[in-house]
Amino acid sequence: MLMRSAGDPSYQNLSQEAHLKKLFEAYNGFKANVAISKWQLSEDFIAGIVNVIVGMSDESRQIVRGHLDFNKWEHSAYNESLLKSKRHTIGNTPRGLDQHFALLLTVTSESQAWFFKRYNSYFATSAKKTKPSLRSRIRWNQSDWDKHVDHTQIACRNAKGQG
């Protein structure tokens, strides 16, 4: 599909995110995937993949990959709903803040890496006391995830002396 998209004029002048979404649309529209719905990718899964590819730094992807190298997806610290959230993506800022606070809480590649290290550390510490089948219960929910992204932005800025 990627090779087909390289020569297709309808893919030209698209952003990386739009290009990926169009490729996933083509994948879900493939004959076998239409016939067998379990092979289709959900909207949450697609949004998560796009955020990982487009919105994460290489260092952050390496941190997440390192965690997933040792944990099955269903027993890992991550799920589609956490990764589809845009709050942890580079350049994201919470809405409705004045300019000073918006600058303070804007996600950078460095603070993003801090966040994923912090989250993996929390999960690894908590998972030691938990059976693998129950580890999904110690994942942060969406509001905790967003709150800890904000906390990490402040801690990172403070450590660099920019707070």
- Residue range 93-114, pLDDT digits in tens: 988 888 888 889 999 999 999 9
Q: Are residues 36 and 74 both part of a single domain?
A: no
pLDDT digits (tens, 9 = 90+) for 55-106: 999 999 999 999 999 988 889 999 888 998 999 999 999 888 888 888 899 9
Does residue 75 lie in a domain region? yes
Predicted local confidence at residue 4, as pLDDT = 55
**Tokens coding 152:** 């990490």
80 and 154 inside one domain: yes
Give the separation between CA 144 and CA 142, rounded to whole angstroms.
Answer: 6
**Residue 163 pLDDT greater than 60, yes or no:** no
* Domains contained in the chain, number: 2
Residue 52 in domain: no
- Contacts of 81 by beta carbon, 8 Å cutoff, 6+ apart: 44, 142
Same domain, 34 and 80: no
Shared domain check, 69 and 143: yes
Interval 20-40: pLDDT, tens: 888 888 877 777 666 677 777
- Give the Cα separation of 126 and 93 in Å (integer): 29
Is there a domain that residue 46 lies in?
no
112, 61 contact by CB (below 8 A): no
**pTM of the predicted protein model:** 0.80
- DSSP secondary structure letter of residue 123: H
Give yes or no: residues 35 and 61 share one domain: no
Structural domain includes residue 49: no
- Tell me, yes or no, whether 50 lies in a domain: no
Q: Does the structure show a pLDDT above 70 at 6?
A: no
Residues 76, 144 within the same domain: yes
Q: Where in the sequence is the domain holding 152, given as residue range(s)?
A: 57-159
- Do residues 34 and 61 both lie within one domain? no
